[in-house]
Amino acid sequence: MSSAALPDRYAVAGNPVEHSQSPFIHAEFARQTSQALIYERLLCPLDGFANAIRAFAADNGAGAVRGCNVTVPFKLEAFALAARRTPRAELAQAANTLRFDAESDGGWLADNTDGVGLVRDIEHNAGAALAGKRVLLIGAGGAAAGALGPLLDARPAALVVANRTLAKAQELVTRHAGIAGASALAACLPHEAGSSFDVVINATASSLQGDAVPVNAAVLAPGALALDMMYGPAAQGFLAWAEAHGARGRDGLGMLVEQAAEAFFVWRGVRPASAPVLAALRARLAAKVH
């Protein structure tokens, strides 16, 4: 069989990677859009990401390897590895999507679809338009960095980045100052975040570590949307806190599906419908729990 007849190959690269839902999501997208592709898991050694990616990209015997998603802890390395970066990856200084374009086409492209996925989930799936709203982003690590640019693109009235290490929040804000437009963009410590935000986004690992939510409940306007980028047990602490204080809790599953949909579009030029895949993913995870 010629390789032209074989499906294109993709993977999610990370460490750990065995619990990643990306293979399920992309298989659903491929089925829905009739795209011939295979999507695998690629466990990369902690000290050998670049070599593992290069070997995967060169392994074209079973179908052309076209790209990969990148997850924890390699998003910074993925960004560094590419010949070209999209503006949103430049702002994030991190990449969750690589497209292995030929050198004659400019070489590997690094993109970051996390923030666009987050905004699409908030605005389309959760129905909370961000324009003119007060938004609090908690955390200033890689996850927050990916979100900030696309959140600003949605034109909130105010966007506050709160982090326990203030200098990291300030650095993030400084890097994004040029695209803030009319949005009031500021950095602060979590307990100084102020009050009455319409949308509160947890981009910290605090729930994962079983720690208390680092901000005061006064940050939540009545009926606010409170979204944790995590899902499953890791999001429960934040969601319980939000709902106990009158907010609408939302986990990170919608963001996960939306960032995947955007990556699928970057690779295939086809935009899949995310809603049925999000529903299928929720059902799949619920069935695993029970």
Residue showing tokens 């074209």: 60
Contacts of 263 (CB under 8 A, 6+ apart): 67, 69, 96, 97, 111, 113
Least Cα distance to 140 among 206, 81, 194, 90 occurs for 206
Examine residue 259 and tell whether it contacts ligand ATR (CB under 6 A). no
205 or 266, CB closer to ligand ATR?
205
Report the nearest approach of ligand ATR to the CB of residue 70 (Å). Answer: 11
Separation of alpha carbons 194 and 43, rounded Å: 42
Residue 15 binds to ligand ATR (criterion: CB under 6 A): no
Site string for ligand ATR, 164-203 (x = CB under 6 A): xx--x----------------------------------x
Distance CA(198)–CA(14), nearest Å, equals: 34
Query: Given the rule CB under 6 A, which of 48-56, 58-66, 159-167, 219-227 is the region that contacts ligand ATR?
Result: 159-167
Active-site residues, by number, are: 75
Shortest Å, Cβ 94 to ligand ATR: 8
Residue 209 contacts ligand ATR per CB under 6 A = yes
Give the one residue of 115, 156, 214, 237 binding ligand ATR; rule: CB under 6 A.
Answer: 214
Residue 211 near ligand ATR by CB under 6 A: yes
Nearest-angstrom CA–CA distance, 218 and 191: 10
Residues 112-151 as x/- pattern, contact with ligand ATR by CB under 6 A: ---------------------------xxxxxx-------
Contact at 8 Å (CB) between 198 and 133? Answer: yes
22-33 and 275-289 are packed helices; what angle lies between their axes, rounded to 10 degrees?
Answer: 140
Mark the segment that binds ligand ATR (CB under 6 A) among 21-29, 152-160, 207-215, 253-261.
Answer: 207-215
Residue 247 vs residues 2, 5, 73, 192, 221: alpha-carbon distances, Å: 56, 51, 31, 20, 8
Residues that bind ligand ATR (CB under 6 A): 139-144, 163-165, 168, 203-206, 209, 211, 214
